[in-house]
Amino acid sequence: NAGVTQTPKFQVLKTGQSMTLQCAQDMNHNSMYWYRQDPGMGLRLIYYSASEGTTDKGEVPNGYNVSRLNKREFSLRLESAAPSQTSVYFCASSGQGGIVKNSPLHFGNGTRLTVT
Partner 1 sequence: ILNVEQSPQSLHVQEGDSTNFTCSFPSSNFYALHWYRWETAKSPEALFVMTLNGDEKKKGRISATLNTKEGYSYLYIKGSQPEDSATYLCAFHGGTYKYIFGTGTRLKVLA
Residues of this chain that bind partner 1 (CB under 8 A): 31, 33, 35, 40-45, 48, 50, 56, 58-59, 90, 100-110
Which one, 37 or 67, has the nearer CB to partner 1? 37
Which one, 12 or 41, has the nearer CB to partner 1? 41
Contact 16, 79 (CB under 8 A): no
Provide the minimum distance between the beta carbon of 49 and partner 1 in the complex, in angstroms, as a whole number: 8
Which one, 26 or 79, has the nearer CB to partner 1? 26
Contact 24, 11 (CB under 8 A): no
Provide the minimum distance between the beta carbon of 39 and partner 1 in the complex, in angstroms, as a whole number: 10
